[in-house]
Structure 1
């Protein structure tokens, strides 16, 4: 019987789990800074803790986050805030033997006419399929899993140090069903009004106005470039009924830099 082969590419962000068969990539984000005309080099280390060689192709891509924070990819050099054209890689094909670590140098040359705008791109390390790669057999179909690592690359002008986010809206948008359970969904919209990239988190809690009972939902991390806006959803289980005071807490960078937004909710 004929056997088919399905190649499945998995995009991995962060330090990779055992699903990547012992491959780790570090760091996962590269931050360059400096003035117009400056240059700098950073090193990415790829380590193979597995038992078979891995080959990767290195390439650059553009990307941005949509309104809900999901990444959207585009060809290198096509987005307004791309810095892909400023980058040069020491090599584009990297083979890492078992037990070996390889270094990939990423060199950035900032144009002399660069403005004071944060720019970004993505360094993609895509596994190259080889004849010797193992595959999973399932109903006579061979599924070959390939891994693609996305490393964020940021350039921040040396004078861009203002980290500031704030709420622009908090709305109760209605009921949603998740895994057969009903929730009241709250949409919290934030904007980066600073001039540098910010790693922050948003907490949301509700207080029953009749009983005073407080309920805290799981915080959500956000990473935003300047001028970006993002909607973060919080889902409140349907069992909470009545009049509530909703409070959103935005922790900008350090825990000491806090913004608070309030919303009366009828659930």
Structure 2
């Protein structure tokens, strides 16, 4: 057993992790209300927090995600609501000195043609470039850990003619990190980006008396995508309840579903 522990420690010590010190300073979601034929300008503010120089490449991809946790980064025009071809970066590669900050500028040129109302989007990928260093002939495996950032660029067109349409895909109660959690999968089947919050109003099954209301964090939801909203219901005693699940966005559009909610003993 001691030999196995020593071997494991030796293997761990042979792995070298290099963490890029690149951070994004002005947020991972950039939103614009757009009109036909107009040009909009934006920027990505980057800082190298390490003391050594760091090269960074930037490129565009389409982006979707689903409530089961899958995230898809694909070539432009894969998504029918992509705006990737409207975007132009002023550079695709930049090198920052240690502790240096810089800004990468981009332009969005909206086509002067008929378009469906709603949200269009893509992501700017910001990825540190690690130089290949010659081997120092030390035993073991060198692993480079690279943190990539995906900055959503969301453009909303004729929002007065568009709307989100939220659908409940599933509701499950599971234990997560020692907490009883309601996992509510919600899809946006509409054509407009929104930022909903999921909540559960819980009622005594026999008397109809309200037991409590519990809410999730607010999350953004693009058209044609879905996410799982997590609601802590640890304070609910084990029992069967009647419940109303409500998704409300920032414009106070509300979508509701009545369910039977069962909270089991651990």
Tell me the TM-score normalised to structure 1 length: 0.73
**8 Å contact kept, 1:5–1:143:** yes
Distance 1:60 1:227, change over 3 A: closer
Q: Deviations over 1:77-116 (max 9, x none)?
A: 3221111111111001011112322111111112222503
Q: How does 1:146-161 map to 2 (within 5 A)?
A: 146-157=146-157, 159-161=158-160
Once the two structures are TM-superposed, the CA of residue 208 in structure 1 deviates from its matched residue by 3.2
Q: CA deviation at 1:249?
A: 2.7
Equivalence for 2:8: none
Q: What CA distance in whole angstroms lies between the structure 2 residues aligned with 1:70 and 1:253?
A: 25
Are 1:192 and 1:224, in contact at CA under 8 Å, matched by a contact in 2? no
Are 1:249 and 2:225 counterparts?
A: no
Are residues 208 and 126 of structure 1, via their aligned partners in 2, closer, same or farther at CA, if it must alter by over 3 Å? same
Q: What is the distance in 1 between the residues matched to 2:230 and 2:114?
A: 36
Offset at 1:232? 4.1
How much does 1:124 deviate? 0.4
Equivalents in 2 of 1:46, 1:184: separation in Å?
Answer: 36
SS class of match (2:85): helix
Contact 2:166 2:189 in 1 (8 A): no
The structure whose residues are more often strand, as a share, is 1
Q: Is this contact kept in 2: 1:126–1:149, CA < 8 A?
A: yes
Counterpart for residue 88 of structure 2: 88
Note the alpha carbon deviations across 1:162-206, whole angstroms, 9 max, x for none.
675455447555x75656x7968654545354x431112112242
Query: What is the 5 A alignment of 1:41-190?
Result: 41-68=41-68, 70-117=70-117, 118-131=119-132, 140-157=140-157, 159-161=158-160, 164-165=163-164, 168-169=167-168, 187-190=184-187
Give structure 1 stretches of 5+ with no counterpart. Answer: 9-18
Asked whether the equivalents of residues 185 and 233 of structure 1 are also in contact (C-alpha less than 8 Å), the reply is yes
Check 1:33–1:177 CA distance in 2 against 1; reply closer, same or farther (3 A cut): closer
Would the aligned equivalents of 1:164 and 1:192 in 2 still touch at CA under 8 Å?
no
- CA distance 1:29–1:169, shift in 2 (3 Å): closer
| Paired residue total | 246
Aligned equivalents of 2:259, 2:166: Cα separation in 1: 12
User: TM (normalized to structure 2)?
Assistant: 0.73
Structure 2: 5+ residue stretches without partners: 1-12
Larger Rg: 2
